[in-house]
Structure 1
Amino acid sequence: MNKLFQGIAAAVNSKPKQIIMWILIATVLVGFGASKIKVDLGQETMISHDDPIYKATEEYQKKFGSDTLFILLSEKEGSLLSESTIKEIRVLQEDLKDINEIQTSFSYVNLLENSVNEAVMMRKTTQENLENTVSKAVKEAAEKGASPLEQQETAKRVQVQYLSELKEKYGTQFEEMQKAGDPGLNNPAFIQSVIFKQNGDLRDELTKLMPQNGDHAMIIMKIKGGIPYSELPALVKKVEDNMNEASLEGIETKISGTPKIYGAIYNSMISDMSLMLGLSIVLMAIILFVIFPVKWRLLSLPVVLISLVWTIGIMGYLGVPMSMVTMAILPILIGLGTDFAIQFHNRYDEELKAGKHVKQAISESIRKMGPSVGIAVFSMTLGFITLLISKVPMIQHFGIMLSVGVIVSYSLSFVLMFAIFKLRDKEHVSHKTVAPSKVEHLMSKVAGRVIKRPIIIIVTGLLLAVAGFSMDHSLKIETNLENLMPQDAPELKELDSIREIVGGTNELTFMIKADDVTKTEVVQWMDRFQESQLENHPELEEGTSIVNAVKQGNNGKVPAEQAKIDMSLKRIPSELKENILSGDEKAASMSFSIGDMGMKEQKLLLDKMTKNMETPEGISIVPAGSQIINIESVGSMTENRHFSTLIGVAAIIAGLLAVYRSIKMALYPVIPILLVIGWSSGIMYLLNVEINPLTAVLGSLVLGIGSEFTILVTERYQEEREKGLNRDAALVKALSKTGRAITASGLTVIAGFSTLMFSDFVMLRSFGITTVLDTLLCLISALIILPAIIAVTDRKKEEINTGVKSE
């Protein structure tokens, strides 16, 4: 290991210009990968491709479409049932179907058209049957010798009898048809008879399409599966353009639905990333300028930005997308990268002030800080990489890119900083030792007080951690994505206002498969399943499937005759049938609308619905669809967070044990951070900060960041002990020398995280608040708890004349 860092030092001292030049050239090449970065909010980032639900959803969306986009039409001065409005909606729907991303478009107008066609066909069939019946009766009467007058009476009698039988067969429906007159979209009486019952109430089959008894209406569009979320804003714009071109006089229109919400999230992410990047740089520049009094104190920033270009470029080449979770990487890596650069800069400055020649200062800094920070980065990577145990791809990507990012930042900062120092200082020699700074003096005082009262400090920290862990189970979990997105987004407010009119817009969807799902026994089983779910789970508002259409045409029951089922299915408008029945009739969709529920509640509901879900032989049913994926993935994000943290702790201890070959040295950096995790839970509880998909990974993040601080203190303590200082003197020297750098680097990391608090995303804002507090706690733990633990556990008595004696 020493030979490696000696070789790096020799290269930096002899060829600094070449090193800088090659790094810049490589930056340009690697940076091209940034152009390959895609922003993805789709189901590919939410759940593994190997998951059965993902595979079922892919099949489901190919057959029935994906998310739903809808237009709410509200009567103001105009009428939804006027001939002109109906005509314009027909034209609008035709234009919407021409949009490539839209699979189907359906509204009450389709039902009206279907009713007109059925009524015309029924009238034609009825008239033909009547004429045939009368003709047959008259012919039979004539054959029996009836006179022309008797034949006329027979015709009248048969006609009356036939109409009486129709009235008995179809009941009030027949009477309504008679009163409505000729079927047509230009006949107000006919339209009224189709939409409303005789008592003026809306017909049951139209309650979803025309909420609030027909004062409003919905145009429901099914989006094709596989549409990238980055294309959703453009899709919504196409729909808006078509809607604005329609001459819907006196009708107010609003567009909403999942595609519009995700489109809004996509646009907000793009603007948020730019804001956070800019704020990170400004805040770190201020902090470095104020609390890091060295020559070229802002040098860390351009070096870190080069590291960031490398990281983003690697993300692009690896095909890792930018998601709601991975977008948080940018300010995090800026903070951590600046942290590494500060450590190198501080040690080099310390060596120069100690009177060493530039070449010696670089060699000594590389020899001492290379392994120290390297071990810290190794430990951080072990903490971050445990995120790979998550079932959610975006969390896995977060762990991978944090690991790659810190390794890249360490490597580039390590080489580039010292190459720049070599060119800047050339052959400069510092001939005098500079007095300790105010920060060093303060750290010496802190160390002295910690050494005097280590037991009290440890017990206090331990009690606070226990209290925090006891509060952990009481933390609120927020998994509703709508509550985690920008709350002032017009799209969200619009959706809320629409829900006040139409009710819940979320659905739990299932795919039913059989050799033929229209067979009597399959439809009867679907009816039993749908009714039992609605009965057993009051959270479900309504069920929709082919069962509804079959029962609607058969007095609210599924008939035993296959012919009646087939006839009912033929009556379903094609635009609606595509959403609930596959073309080959081997698959059907069944959906249940639900109110405004959090993802956790939806997950519990889905689990109850699918528990012990048995089907007859030859029939299968699986939950599928984008909402199902959201439910499963968000649940997975918040599950096993304690397990992930324990795995991280075990990995770091194992890694440090391999490096140090000492249990005590492996535990020193970890124990203070375990206390921080407990403190963090307590603070989250007191501040009422909920656990969300991002704050759920805090344990791994705290382990990674905190262990770096504690390892640097531990390494410097060991270095001073190896020089012959006693325990107390070594602690004072370690804290006074590393304290300034750790404080500066800790504050820059905090600055990086603090930019997340300016995000419009509630999820990122909560994450920013907790990470700022946790990083501050890690800093306190490294500078106070760790020295107290060392003071209690390291009882070696070797002393030299340092002016400080061991207890």
Structure 2
Amino acid sequence: MNTLFRHLGRFIENRRILIIGIGVLFLVGSLYGATRLTFATGIETMVSTDSQVYQDYLEFNEHFGAETIIVLARAERLSDLTSLQNITALDTIEQQLSSESGVLSVIGPGFALRQAMAQITGAAILPPDQMTLDSILFDNGVLRPDLKNLFPSDGLSIVIITLKGDVAAEQIDAVVASVQSAIERASFVGVEGSVTGTSVIFSEMETLLSKSMGIMVGISILLMLLILAVVFSVRGFFAWRWLPLGAVIIGSIYVFGMMGWLSVPVTMVSMAILPILIGLGVDYAVQFHNRYDEEARRGETVAEAIIDSVTHIGPAIAIAIVAAALGFIALFISPVPMIQQFGLMLVLGIIACYLVSLFILLPVLYMHDRRKNSKTTAKLGKNTTQTGLVERGLEKLAPWVIRNPLLIIIVAGVFAVVGVILDNRIPTETDEFKYISQDLPIMKDFNELSQISGGSAAFNILVKGSNVISPETLKWMLEIEGQILDQSTVPVVSASGIADTVAQIGQGQIPPTQAAVDQALDYIPSLLKANLLTPDNALANITVRTGPEVSIAKLQELKTLIEGYVASPPVGVTAVVTGQGILGIEILNSLTTGRTEMTLLGVGLVFIGLFLLFRFNLPRALIATLPIAMIIGWSNIVMFLGSIKYTALTATLGSLIIGIGVEFTILMMMRYNEERNKGEDPKTAMTTAMTKIGRAVITSGLTVIGGFGALLFARDFPIVTDFGAVTMINVGFALVSSLVVLPTVIVAVDTRKERKLSKLGGSG
């Protein structure tokens, strides 16, 4: 491998202009590709579109619409909300939005009052005066129970806008904008209007994603500038310390260009990719720059320094890249689409950053330094060989590490085992809305409405058949609703659909004949019917609402019960349980089972890859893998003590830290082997390796920590900030593992091996 990389070093020296020219062409193409980037915030980022769960949800959504926009009207008193002027203002909003493209239905106080007036006068108009209005809304001064869903509290009234299932994202944004405009123009008196709902949140998330990405990138660059200025000391003028950052920015542009060309969207997970790549990419660039600087300090010519740095550090980083990529590839098996995309971009990203460091950074260094003659370079090298604070610290650390293998291995192993045991006690967050800051006004409105309304729509039963409004089928659906309400194991607020609506018209009974059913259906307003029954009477919707804060375990229990209830429908009828609750259960299974599989596969792939790259040397592969694998357990302790839940991002921690940490161990092992090949004994070789490569490893670790540190500033997304905090600690663990656990294991194994060989030699 060294021969191959020596030829590559000569190629870089001889073809530097051509290489940089090709790099510029790729840069132009990447900048154009970046303009094609899109954002994705819907459920398709959490659930595979090929799964049956998603297909059922999509079928339901296409016919009945699952996306809603809620208009909130707040006042100090119910009498303010129910004044004729404010009711008229709300009705104006309803009328404007009813004709909006993509809207399936609009249900609010105006709609209910118009239906009541139609029964009284035959005309669907608003009450002409306050007295008539109050007589419809109140019974002996108390709000009528059937209007409670539109006035969930004395200070709140709502308008529910249900969107069509096939509505495009652009149409949703247009409807949200129309709602906000209608609220601003409404002639409210003593009433404040606002808008919330799933569609509004998803629409707002695109703006939040874009803003958070800008903040994180800016912070990560500032952190890199600071870290490199303080830690990374190289020859040349001071700004030369920041050259690795420039190389990585180019690599990051390549990555975002690839995302655009490959149509990989920006999600709540992939939004973290750029700060991470800045940290990782600077790491690779620092290793190349550090080794080039080390060779030049020895007095080598510029050409020799380029060739030797590529020869010595190139293979080590290449092996680390392959090992890291194998760890990240494990993310591909996740059932969660945005985790798969995250893994893909990590693999492409580290490869791009490696190639930029090799083919852009080194040619730039060569073109700058070749103007100096070898004597000047040698002189500069002689004047700058003094050891720094980091090197002196590592020189003191190395002997202690080498002398205490038993203590270090026992402590590391105990913490790893404790962490593995704690894994099952770390909860998993499946609610995508909890990934967003609950302090945002839009989330406060959403949560307030959920609390006041007493729960949320957990499940939808999609009933399918040639005629789902036959008396027999309606009676069956009514029985299902009754069974769901009667079960006491899970708190259910309501179970309603077309059957109970028809029964209300028939005085609590389903009409016995089809003609009577059809007549009852004629009394149901079309806007209300649109969310209960399709026009061809082939599909019906039963909505099951649970109480607030129902656990996933309880939802799973309720799902099992409902599936049992609908297992024996009338002949020619089928029923499918779908809805948000089903999606939550699916996401939980994906983030738990998938997380364990990803971690185990990541460890396995890294071990197999190293076994092959180390030419079937089993001990070396084990030594490189096990210290990093321990970090997974250590990480669990941090999450448990910090009350941090598993999310779509933290679920990737196992594979991620294996991919990142293995680089440090490989660099340390490769440098140790280089010193051993010079004839040094294990203790001396490890002391030299820790001193020489340790500075670059620590610098690399700090840059990676800085990259993840930028994630802490994505304040609108707790999913990102929690991930950033845990990963920063994990990278710190990786440094400890590489500088403390790994060296003591290597020296202990090699020393024991030498003693055995010595005894064999002596006995011979």
Aligned to 1:269: 209
Give distance in 2, aligned partners of 1:631 and 1:321: 24
Give distance in 2, aligned partners of 1:456 and 1:270: 48
Q: Report deviation, 1:798.
A: 9.6
Aligned to 2:761: none
Matched, 1:618 2:576: no
Give distance in 1, aligned partners of 2:158 and 2:46: 30
Gaps of 5+ in 2: 757-764
Aligned to 1:405: 349
Equivalenced residue count is: 738
Pick which of 1-10 and 309-318 moved more.
Answer: 1-10
Which of 402, 410, 423 lines up with 1:451 in the alignment? 402
Aligned to 2:731: 775
Aligned to 1:461: 412
Aligned to 2:634: 679
Aligned to 1:324: 268
Matched, 1:522 2:473: yes
Residue identity opposite 1:745 in structure 2: S
* Alpha carbons of structure 1 residues 103 and 599: separation in structure 2 relative to 1, 3 Å: farther
Offset from partner CA, 1:214-265 (integer Å, 9 cap, x none)? 7643211012335555775553232021123233444443322112222332
* Alpha carbons of structure 1 residues 628 and 454: separation in structure 2 relative to 1, 3 Å: same
Offset from partner CA, 1:647-683 (integer Å, 9 cap, x none)? 1111111111111111111111110011111111112
CA contact (8 A) 1:506 1:595 kept: no
Residue identity opposite 1:786 in structure 2: L
Q: Report deviation, 1:534.
A: 2.0
Aligned to 1:289: 229
Aligned to 1:93: 94
Aligned to 1:116: 117
Matched, 1:542 2:483: no
CA contact (8 A) 1:755 1:768 kept: yes
Residue identity opposite 1:714 in structure 2: M
Give distance in 2, aligned partners of 1:630 and 1:267: 25
Offset from partner CA, 1:632-653 (integer Å, 9 cap, x none)? 2354234331221111111111
Q: Report deviation, 1:114.
A: 2.7
* Alpha carbons of structure 1 residues 574 and 262: separation in structure 2 relative to 1, 3 Å: same
Give distance in 1, aligned partners of 2:48 and 2:451: 35
Give distance in 1, aligned partners of 2:562 and 2:593: 19
Which of 736, 740, 757 lines up with 2:712 in the alignment? 757
Which of 647, 666, 677 lines up with 1:711 in the alignment? 666
Pick which of 786-795 and 281-290 moved more.
Answer: 786-795
Give distance in 2, aligned partners of 1:606 and 1:355: 74
Q: Report deviation, 1:2.
A: 4.1
Within 5 Å, give how 1:600-749 maps onto structure 2: 600-601=552-553, 603-605=555-557, 607-612=559-564, 613-616=566-569, 617-625=571-579, 628-629=582-583, 631-633=585-587, 635-660=589-614, 661-749=616-704
Give distance in 1, aligned partners of 2:422 and 2:173: 42
Give distance in 1, aligned partners of 2:554 and 2:350: 37
Give distance in 2, aligned partners of 1:184 and 1:411: 70
Q: Report deviation, 1:712.
A: 1.0
Aligned to 1:104: 105
Within 5 Å, give how 1:198-217 maps onto structure 2: 201-212=142-153, 216-217=156-157
* Alpha carbons of structure 1 residues 788 and 611: separation in structure 2 relative to 1, 3 Å: farther
Matched, 1:789 2:745: yes
Give distance in 2, aligned partners of 1:316 and 1:71: 36
CA contact (8 A) 1:455 1:792 kept: no
Offset from partner CA, 1:582-617 (integer Å, 9 cap, x none)? 111100111122333267357535543455351323
Aligned partner of residue 209 in structure 1, secondary structure = coil
Aligned to 1:185: 127
Which of 323, 339, 343 lines up with 1:395 in the alignment? 339
Aligned partner of residue 47 in structure 1, secondary structure = coil
Aligned partner of residue 341 in structure 1, secondary structure = helix
Residue identity opposite 1:546 in structure 2: I
Aligned to 1:358: 302
Aligned partner of residue 509 in structure 1, secondary structure = strand
Aligned partner of residue 754 in structure 2, secondary structure = coil
Give distance in 1, aligned partners of 2:358 and 2:607: 25
Aligned partner of residue 425 in structure 2, secondary structure = coil
Give distance in 1, aligned partners of 2:39 and 2:167: 13
Residue identity opposite 1:657 in structure 2: F
What TM-score does the superposition give when structure 2 sets the normalisation length? 0.91
CA contact (8 A) 2:497 2:540 kept: yes
Q: Report deviation, 1:196.
A: 4.3
Q: Report deviation, 1:24.
A: 1.5
* Alpha carbons of structure 1 residues 446 and 428: separation in structure 2 relative to 1, 3 Å: farther
Q: Report deviation, 1:9.
A: 1.1
CA contact (8 A) 2:91 2:110 kept: yes
* Alpha carbons of structure 1 residues 386 and 230: separation in structure 2 relative to 1, 3 Å: farther
* Alpha carbons of structure 1 residues 740 and 38: separation in structure 2 relative to 1, 3 Å: same
Residue identity opposite 2:232 in structure 1: F
Give distance in 1, aligned partners of 2:580 and 2:203: 15
Question: Looking at CA atoms only, which structure, 1 or 2, has the larger radius of gyration?
Answer: 1
Q: Report deviation, 1:620.
A: 1.7
Residue identity opposite 1:775 in structure 2: V
Residue identity opposite 2:61 in structure 1: Q
CA contact (8 A) 1:509 1:589 kept: yes
Aligned partner of residue 211 in structure 1, secondary structure = coil
Aligned partner of residue 242 in structure 2, secondary structure = coil
Aligned to 1:478: 429
Aligned partner of residue 542 in structure 1, secondary structure = strand
Give distance in 1, aligned partners of 2:70 and 2:30: 43
Give distance in 1, aligned partners of 2:473 and 2:586: 28
CA contact (8 A) 1:600 1:635 kept: no
* Alpha carbons of structure 1 residues 425 and 187: separation in structure 2 relative to 1, 3 Å: closer
Aligned to 1:567: 519
CA contact (8 A) 1:513 1:588 kept: yes
Give distance in 1, aligned partners of 2:741 and 2:126: 83
Aligned to 2:52: 52
Aligned partner of residue 593 in structure 1, secondary structure = strand
What TM-score does the superposition give when structure 1 sets the normalisation length? 0.87
Aligned partner of residue 654 in structure 2, secondary structure = helix
Which of 528, 548, 561 lines up with 1:576 in the alignment? 528
Give distance in 2, aligned partners of 1:215 and 1:577: 28
CA contact (8 A) 1:726 1:798 kept: no
Matched, 1:256 2:203: no
Give distance in 1, aligned partners of 2:551 and 2:224: 37
Offset from partner CA, 1:758-797 (integer Å, 9 cap, x none)? 2111111111110000000001100110011112222343
Give distance in 2, aligned partners of 1:215 and 1:265: 28
Aligned to 1:167: none
Offset from partner CA, 1:687-719 (integer Å, 9 cap, x none)? 222222211110011110011111111111122
Q: Report deviation, 1:81.
A: 5.2
Give distance in 2, aligned partners of 1:603 and 1:717: 55
Residue identity opposite 2:128 in structure 1: N
Give distance in 2, aligned partners of 1:105 and 1:796: 78
Matched, 1:218 2:171: no
Residue identity opposite 2:683 in structure 1: D
Aligned to 1:160: none
* Alpha carbons of structure 1 residues 680 and 90: separation in structure 2 relative to 1, 3 Å: closer
Aligned partner of residue 300 in structure 2, secondary structure = coil
Pick which of 611-620 and 691-700 moved more.
Answer: 611-620
Q: Report deviation, 1:456.
A: 1.3
Aligned partner of residue 668 in structure 1, secondary structure = helix
Within 5 Å, give how 1:294-313 maps onto structure 2: 294-295=234-235, 296-313=240-257
Aligned partner of residue 276 in structure 2, secondary structure = helix
Give distance in 2, aligned partners of 1:188 and 1:292: 76
Offset from partner CA, 1:522-556 (integer Å, 9 cap, x none)? 11111111121122254221122112211211222
CA contact (8 A) 1:40 1:229 kept: no
* Alpha carbons of structure 1 residues 321 and 230: separation in structure 2 relative to 1, 3 Å: farther
